[in-house]
Structure formats: C-alpha cells, structure tokens
C-alpha cells in the first residue's frame, strides 16, 4: 500500500525491501527497491531508475532533486520499463486509491516518456531522447489515452497559443467516442464553445473562446460499448488572444451515432433574414431538412452521395438541422443554431 501519510509529511517509511514486504507500506522508492529485490531473486537483470514523474504535486520547472523512482527489467535480451507504484493505484484528493493498472508494466518507451523523465537519458530507451524542456512541454496524457488506441496528430505540445479558432486532431479506433470540457479558471464554458466530429478514423476537436485569456481543454474517451463513464485522456492549456464565434450545438445523440460531419456553417449565430448555405455528411439519413422555428419553414437539403447540401432561408431565432432515418414521419434533431 502506498504510504500517503509519509509522502505528504516528508517522513518516508523505510525503503528496505524486507521491511516494505513486512509492513506493506512504501513510497515510490520502496516499490522500486522491492521490485528490484524480487526480480533479482528470480535471476532477472533489473535496474532502479530515478527521475521526474508528472504525478501528484509535480510542477513544471521544478529543477530540484528527482521526485520519483521506477524500474527497468531485461527479458529475452530487451529492456522493459515499468512503474510498480503507478501500477498499484492513484493519488486523488489526498487519498490513495488501490487500482491495479497493467499499463505501467512493460510500457512502450515512446508512451512512457509523456510522464516519466529519467535523470539518465539512456533509460528513456528512445533512439532520439527528449530533454527536460521537451518533456515538460508534452501534453498531460493518462494511461487511458493509449489503452483506447488514441494518437496525437496535430498538437504535440501542451500549450497552444492562438489568435483564431483551434482545431485539434486525434486518430482513434472506430469504437472509441470522445467528449470534451473547456474551462477558464474553475468556470466551465457552454458546450457550444467546442465542436467534436469524426471522419475516416480521425476526430477533430474545434475550439472557440468568448474572450482573450487562458483556458484548459480536457478530453475524455471511452469505448462505444462501455456503459461506464468517460475517462480523462488528455489536456491542453490554451492562450487565446481574441474572442471567436461559438459553434452550433451538436450534443445530440443523433449527430454522433450517425457519423455526421458538418462542413458549414460552423458558427452558432446565423445571419438574420438571409439565405444560408448548409453542407454535411449524414450517410444513414433518408432526408435532411432545415427548420426555421420563427417562420415555421422547412427547407429540404439535396442529397449528393453521403452529403446533404443547399441553401435555406433563415429569419431570426432557433434553426435546427433535422434528419429522418426510416420511412415513418419521425425527424431527429442533429444540430441547433440561433
């Protein structure tokens, strides 16, 4: 069991492997020492690695002594990285939650580097090692990011400075779904300041901001068939230098489960008393219509393959894109505009 009391007080319990095994209390050095002792007894070549880990209490720019210890073990002629401490559970809200995580045993080096930086760069086990500054600039990624098969395509550093909208691209397996949260300080922005859609195995996460300032994007993921909650997978810090128009609301189940992809318009507030061009992919739909609620006008879009497109008159008020997926009279809301 991780000794949270010892960690928080700075009075660490003994890291002697025999004492750790007897008392079943340790901080990271005790976990690493015990693993080293057990692996050695099994005749394995093993190393204890000290360095920096982006765990509880870690602060970027902290150049003090290393704050963590983990291991590498040699099996069949190859070295493998592991962190027995992180594999045992997590520290949240000043409590240790036991939760075995096999991800941290034989973790791929190109993934391990996102949160573990060894004092000796050779233990990165990478052909092109990172320096400390590059390590600190990497996005904050949880093990669930890699366990769900996600990959970063566009933004590979955690701080994004922008004068315009941001579009973050992630590669994802077909059975993975995403959600997101944008906040400034502790205030969560309305959903229409982010817009998530996918096409050909890639998610695009579009972001807009109500004013200049610092924002935090947190992305959550899960398997589509998983009834459980979404899990935090990656976060970015965004420095916005302009206020930008928000997106239409797409938090309708119809949008996501029917592989919708919106090309335009990608703004929530449409021009008043004008004809507006709409284009979206909605391959499973039989019919797509634009409803202007103020005038009670329904305008059909023309189908071209998997796409629906065309102009529709817009007055002043709510506008919905709706779609029909069967031969009954039921239409389902896909997107909402003002």
Tokens of 334: 């896909």
Q: Is 194 exposed, middle or buried (0-12, 13-18, 19+ CB in 10 A)?
A: buried
Cα atoms in the Cβ-side hemisphere of radius 13 Å centred on 241: 5
Sign of the CA dihedral running 137, 181, 231, 321: negative
Give the pLDDT band of residue 256 (cuts 50, 70, 90). Answer: confident
1 pLDDT above the threshold of 80:
no
pLDDT range class, residue 4, cuts 50, 70, 90: very low
Distance between CA 203 and CA 152 in Å, rounded?
10
pLDDT in tens, 129-181: 999 999 999 999 999 999 999 999 999 999 999 998 999 999 999 999 999 99
**Cβ atoms within 10 Å, residue 240:** 23
pLDDT score for 22: 67
Contact 141, 55 (CB under 8 A): no
Residue 228: which residues within 8 A CB-CB, separation 6 or more?
222
pLDDT at 322 over 50: yes
pLDDT tens digits for range 56-79: 666 666 667 888 999 999 999 999
The pLDDT of residue 15 is above 70:
no
* Residue-level pLDDT at 67: 87
Here the tokens at position 258 are 């029917």
Instruction: Identify which has the larger pLDDT, 171 or 251.
Output: 171
Nearest to 36 by CA among 76, 2, 78, 70: 70
Mean pLDDT over the full length of the chain: 90
Mean pLDDT value across residues 277-289: 96
pLDDT in tens, 26-56: 778 888 999 999 999 999 999 999 999 998 6
Q: How far apart are CA 23 and CA 26, in angstroms?
A: 8
157/219 Cα distance (integer angstroms): 15
> Can you list the domains of the chain with their CATH numbers?
4-136 (no CATH), 151-240 (2.60.40.10), 253-337 (2.60.40)
Residue with token string 């992809």: 261
């Amino acid at each position: 069991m991780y000794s949270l009391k010892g960690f928080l007080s700075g009075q660490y319990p003994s890291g002697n492997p025999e004492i750790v095994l007897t008392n079943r209390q340790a901080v990271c050095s005790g976990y690493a020492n015990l693993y080293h002792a057990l692996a050695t007894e099994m005749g394995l070549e093993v190393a204890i690695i000290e360095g920096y880990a982006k765990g509880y209490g870690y602060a970027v720019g902290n150049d003090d002594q290393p704050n963590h210890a983990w291991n590498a073990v040699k099996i069949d002629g190859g070295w493998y990285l592991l962190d027995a401490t992180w594999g045992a559970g997590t520290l949240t809200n000043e409590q240790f939650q036991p939760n075995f995580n096999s991800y941290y045993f034989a973790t791929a080096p190109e993934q391990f580097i996102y949160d573990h930086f060894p004092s000796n760069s050779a233990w990165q086990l990478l052909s092109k090692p990172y320096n400390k500054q590059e390590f600190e600039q990497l996005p904050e990624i949880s093990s669930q990011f890699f366990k769900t098969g996600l990959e970063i395509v566009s933004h590979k550093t955690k701080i994004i400075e922008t004068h315009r909208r941001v579009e973050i691209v992630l590669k994802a397996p077909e059975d993975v779904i995403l959600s997101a949260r944008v906040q400034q300080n502790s205030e969560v922005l309305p959903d229409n300041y982010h817009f998530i859609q996918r096409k050909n195995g890639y998610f695009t996460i579009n972001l807009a901001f109500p004013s200049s300032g610092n924002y935090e994007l947190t992305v959550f993921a899960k398997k589509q068939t998983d009834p459980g909650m979404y899990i935090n997978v990656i976060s970015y810090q965004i420095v916005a230098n302009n206020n930008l128009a928000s997106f239409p609301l797409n938090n309708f189940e119809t949008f996501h489960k029917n592989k919708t992809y919106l090309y335009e318009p990608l703004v929530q507030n449409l021009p008043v008393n004008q004809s507006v061009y709409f284009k979206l992919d909605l391959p499973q739909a039989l019919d797509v219509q634009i409803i202007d609620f103020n005038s009670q006008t329904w305008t059909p879009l023309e189908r071209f393959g998997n796409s629906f497109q065309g102009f529709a008159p817009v007055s002043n008020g709510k506008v919905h894109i709706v779609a029909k997926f069967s031969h009954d009279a039921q239409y389902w809301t896909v997107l909402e505009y003002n």
